[in-house]
């Protein structure tokens, strides 16, 4: 089967053109993953290059790359650096029929194409952390008990509870009036925009020119304590300009929403220039999402901006969310708990035995790895084939940048977000049904409002706590411990069954429950 391809119909970040004239998403992804592995496992790189149907064959290679990275800190950093180098070497930037590498475009002096409008909040800041959960808002001791219950149920790692408790013990950390944070994908479901504004942050928002989305963001900002700085393209404001000469004219939120926004793919270097106008320390959060190949392009554009700002300023902190449906090095405590659950299945284990011949009801974390310093760790494979190789590459670019930047001295907050009922998930009927039935297998699926509030809290913890794993001065035995600390995997790491082996069963159960 030939790899999927895309064609360029617009300026901006794009996949490279092959010798056949096509821009193959599959061939590009396969080549980048192969390049990432070559420096630590040449045989693995060759096997990746010879994977004919990358769309169905990417699962094992992605798992094996993480296994190779787990062996030693040098291996983890080599894979990250080589993968990023390959991606930046391959992806292109098209403009007016000509193409350049992304690095060449970003190296050019950036023209200031965007003015700014700042929306000021009108209410007092929240000074205590609270959480919307199952139709209620949890505060204080109730919230602490729920956090501890998630640990007992195997939904989160203990370090997640430690981070939330530490944040609640230091409520002054939530005063974000001194914080500038740029959000790439500010309108995304998993973006922490609302929480950060509630705590008084200065949010610099980047999202597409979509008036409905900007009306929602502006309304959120008005009803919080923070401020929302939005980009407005110069010369594209109609007959009644919003900004002229740096002066904002109408205080009309609807009018502002009509002209706000920037295209991350087409305006990459200009968004960099707009963000570089911010004085003082800056947090750059990447929360972009799109279906298929678009997600990879957005991750590449975001990475180009992050790389350039770090080189220019030196006072940039990066923030990302990891997806739980991926491959992770996990602690032996998680492996041992999943094995305990496997061994205590009782009669159900006997009844499930025939189905294991069909790769159903397989044990979770079936193997362990010894690192170069003799530490035994697990390897949790929760990849979901329905999300596809483009999704895996988009998220891997973020993980590689996180490890690479932290090793170079940049503070990096990368927290594992739990399975969440976002629109991008529930519009896939199989995944939506599987999420509905996931509770039968010890997996908790969160509502978006709960997930975003929790992830915002972890971001603040990483910003304020000098001992956080995000701080490059904090020693980690393996760079990939960054993904373990504070992990809320929804139970995927500690469940008895390999997530992929019960996906279909969970979907069937979910469909029956939704009809009941």
Say which residues have a Cβ less than 8 Å from residue 477's Cβ, sequence separation at least 6.
371, 373, 375
Instruction: Give dist(CA 32, CA 48) in Å, integer.
Output: 10
Say which residues have a Cβ less than 8 Å from residue 343's Cβ, sequence separation at least 6.
none
Tokens 């990358």 sit on residue:
54
Instruction: Give dist(CA 241, CA 235) in Å, integer.
Output: 8
List phi, psi (to 5°) of 113: -95, -10
Instruction: Give dist(CA 18, CA 25) in Å, integer.
Output: 10
Tokens representing residue 90 in the block: 């391959």
Tokens representing residue 22 in the block: 């096509």
Instruction: Give dist(CA 264, CA 269) in Å, integer.
Output: 9
CB 298 within 8 A of CB 290: yes
Could you tell me the CA-to-CA distances from 456 to 48, 131, 200, 244, 296 in Å, in that order? Answer: 37, 11, 13, 35, 24
| Max Cα-Cα span within the chain | 75
Instruction: Give dist(CA 197, CA 187) in Å, integer.
Output: 13
CB 300 within 8 A of CB 13: yes
Q: Which domains are assigned to the chain?
A: 123-329+387-422+443-496 (3.40.50.720)
Tell how strand 98-101 and strand 92-95 pair up: antiparallel
- What is residue 133's three-state secondary structure? strand
Instruction: Give dist(CA 104, CA 91) in Å, integer.
Output: 11
Closest CA to 192 of 486, 415, 492: 415
Helix axes 429-437, 503-515, angle to 10 degrees: 80
Spatial strand order in the sheet of 12-14:
12-14, 92-95, 98-101
pTM of structure: 0.94
% residues pLDDT > 70 (the chain): 94
Tokens representing residue 438 in the block: 């996931």
Phi and psi based region of residue 21 (left: phi greater than 0; alpha: psi -120 to 50; beta: remaining): left
Q: What is the dihedral of CA 309, 310, 311, 312, to 10 degrees?
A: 50
**Tens digits of per-residue pLDDT, 273-286?**
999 999 999 999 99
* Predicted local distance difference test score (pLDDT) of residue 2: 45
Residues of the chain with pLDDT under 50: 1-3, 7-9
Instruction: Give dist(CA 514, CA 407) in Å, integer.
Output: 47
Say which residues have a Cβ less than 8 Å from residue 110's Cβ, sequence separation at least 6.
269, 270, 272, 273, 276
């Amino acid at each position: 089967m030939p790899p999927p391809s895309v064609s360029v119909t617009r300026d901006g970040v794009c996949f490279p053109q092959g010798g056949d004239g096509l821009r193959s998403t599959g061939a590009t992804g396969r080549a980048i993953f192969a390049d990432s592995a070559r420096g630590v496992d040449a045989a693995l790189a060759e096997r990746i290059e010879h994977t004919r149907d990358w769309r169905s064959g990417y699962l094992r290679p992605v798992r094996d790359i993480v296994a190779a990275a787990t062996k030693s800190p040098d291996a983890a950093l080599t894979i990250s650096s080589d993968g990023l180098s390959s991606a930046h070497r391959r992806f292109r930037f098209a403009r007016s029929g000509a193409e350049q590498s992304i690095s060449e475009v970003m190296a050019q002096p950036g023209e200031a194409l965007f003015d700014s409008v700042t929306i000021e909040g009108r209410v007092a800041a929240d000074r205590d952390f609270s959480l919307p959960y199952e139709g209620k808002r949890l505060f204080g001791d109730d919230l602490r008990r729920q956090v501890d219950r998630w640990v007992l149920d195997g939904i989160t790692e203990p370090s997640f509870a430690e981070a939330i408790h530490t944040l609640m013990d230091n409520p002054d950390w939530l005063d974000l009036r001194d914080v500038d944070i740029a959000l790439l994908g500010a309108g995304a479901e998993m973006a922490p925009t609302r929480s950060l504004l509630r705590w008084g942050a200065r949010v610099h928002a980047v999202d597409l020119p979509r008036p409905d989305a900007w009306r929602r963001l502006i309304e959120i900002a008005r009803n919080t304590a923070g401020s929302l700085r939005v980009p407005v393209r110069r010369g594209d404001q109609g007959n009644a300009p919003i900004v002229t000469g740096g002066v904002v004219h109408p205080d009309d939120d609807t009018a502002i929403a009509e002209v706000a926004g920037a295209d991350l793919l087409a305006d990459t270097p200009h968004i960099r220039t707009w963000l570089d106008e911010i004085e003082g320390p800056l947090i750059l959060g990447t929360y972009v999402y799109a279906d298929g190949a678009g997600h990879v392009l957005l991750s590449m554009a975001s990475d180009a901006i992050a790389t350039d700002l770090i080189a220019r300023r030196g006072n940039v902190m990066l923030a990302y969310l990891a997806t739980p449906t991926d491959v992770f090095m996990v602690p032996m405590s998680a492996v041992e708990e999943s094995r305990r659950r496997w061994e205590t299945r009782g009669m159900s284990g006997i009844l499930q035995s025939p189905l294991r011949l069909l790769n159903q009801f397989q044990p979770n974390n079936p193997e362990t790895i010894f690192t170069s310093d003799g530490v035994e760790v697990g390897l949790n494979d929760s990849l979901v084939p329905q999300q596809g190789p483009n999704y895996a590459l988009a998220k891997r670019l973020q993980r590689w940048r996180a490890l690479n930047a932290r090793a170079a001295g940049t503070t990096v907050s990368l927290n594992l977000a739990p399975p969440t009922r976002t629109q991008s998930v529930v519009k896939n009927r199989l995944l939506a049904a599987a999420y509905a039935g996931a509770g039968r297998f010890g997996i908790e699926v969160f509502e978006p409002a709960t997930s975003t509030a929790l992830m915002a809290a972890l971001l603040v913890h990483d910003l304020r706590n000098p001992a956080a794993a995000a701080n490059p001065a904090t020693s980690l035995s393996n760079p990939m411990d960054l993904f373990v600390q504070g992990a809320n995997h929804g139970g995927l790491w500690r469940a008895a069954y390999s997530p992929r082996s019960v996906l279909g069963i969970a979907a069937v159960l979910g469909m029956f429950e939704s009809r009941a």
